[in-house]
Amino acid sequence: MKKIHSCLVIGGDMRQIYMAEALEQAGFEVSLYGFEHLEEGNAGRSDYADYYEALKGKDAVIFPLPLSRDNVSLNAPFAGEEILLADILHAVEGGQTVFGGMFGEREKQYLKHRGILAYDYFAREELTVRNAVATAEGVLQIVIEELPITVHGSHALVTGYGRTSKTVCTLLRALGAQVTVAARKQEDLAWARVEGMQGVFYEELPACAGAFDYVVNTVPALVLGRPVLEKLKADCLLVEIASAPGGIDVKTAGACGLKIVKASSLPGKVAPKTAGKIISDTIQNVIREGDG
């Protein structure tokens, strides 16, 4: 990796603004593009008239998390106009280093074909682990706001037992919730039980579904279908935090009258400053490891 000093941050939400501030504080020269509609009073800006001018001569280009929400346009909610993903990747100059979150296989192969170094910071362990804390706090906020009961003494189901799920479980249990973990691996259920929780396989859920006050899904594949959803209490809250396509049969849940709160990208919503600092730290780690 060549030496990196000048960076262009293009697209994204408030996480990218705070990330840019953290990089500037660390000594990087940072420019922004695609934040024309950022609310007044925030530290955002767009420094160029078009992205070709913005990209010119920069050492690194930092794309948002996720890179795109529809595989067509860059994820740039504050941009003055749509930025097509294929166009902006084509405009990246040879020799620039690219950072972004949740690159698709097509984008990775395209940049590789052009000989451009690309790093997916969302794939880094340190980012995933630190983001899990903000996600768990966001889940807790949703549960408190949406349900007329205390977390203490509540009955929660958490699907999956990865990094995020473990952090959610730890926080809920710390506040006195009774937590059940659903997973497919025996080892995951064993660890859940060692931690003082109930553990069930997905196929066992219909038999115990009626006990839960809320369900937090962390699995990006269908695990909560009709056999489970029909057995939940009518006022059971469903919180979907998995990436698309999610793990809840939305159509069936609607037919059952169940409320779903779709809460992807929680770190960017509940703690954008912390999330931005995490991204900045992760990018700096990648640069240090590559002697950039």
We report the CATH number of the domain holding residue 34 as 3.40.50.720
> Is 22:30 a contact under the CB 8 Å cutoff?
no
**Phi-psi label, residue 17: left if phi above 0, alpha if psi -120 to 50, beta otherwise:** alpha
Same domain, 117 and 206: no
Q: Which two tokens stand for residue 230?
A: 């029909």
Residues 136 and 86 in one domain: no
pLDDT at 6: 97
**Euclidean distance between CA atoms 189 and 198, whole angstroms:** 8
Task: For residue 278, tell me if it sits in a domain.
Answer: no
Question: Are 136 and 156 in contact, with CB atoms under 8 Å apart?
Answer: no
Q: Are 36 and 46 in contact (CB under 8 A)?
A: yes
- Do both 139 and 55 map to the same domain? no
**Structure tokens given for 147:** 């349900």
Same domain, 101 and 28: yes
What the block records as the tokens of 196 is: 């003082």
pTM, two decimals, is: 0.87
Say if residue 150 is in the same domain as residue 209: yes
Q: Are 71 and 147 part of one and the same domain? A: no
Q: Which residues contact residue 111 at a Cβ distance below 8 angstroms, ignoring those fewer than 6 apart?
A: 89, 92, 98, 118
Q: Residues 115, 150: one domain?
A: no
Domain housing 89? 6-123
Are both 88 and 168 inside the same structural domain? no
- Supply the DSSP string of 235-254, one letter for each residue: T-EEEE-SPTT-SB-HHHHH
Same domain, yes or no: 102 and 155: no
Identify the domain boundary among 104, 123, 142: 123
Residue 274 lies in a domain: no
pLDDT given at position 159: 98
Q: Tell me, yes or no, whether 17 and 77 share the same domain.
A: yes
- Residue 276: inside a domain: no
Q: Are residues 111 and 178 in the same domain?
A: no
Question: What are the structure tokens assigned to 286, written together?
Answer: 């990648």
Residues of the chain with pLDDT under 50: 42-44, 292
The answer as to whether 170 is a domain residue is yes
162: tokens are 């990865």
What pLDDT was estimated at residue 265?
85
From 123, 141, 158, the end of a domain falls on 123
Dihedral of the CA atoms 25, 27, 31, 37 (nearest 10)? -10
Q: What is the tally of structural domains in the chain?
A: 2
In a shared domain, residues 132 and 261:
yes
**What burial class does residue 85 get, using C-beta atoms within 10 Å of its C-beta: 0-12 exposed, 13-18 middle, 19+ buried?**
buried
Q: Which of 123, 158, 191 is the last residue of a domain?
A: 123
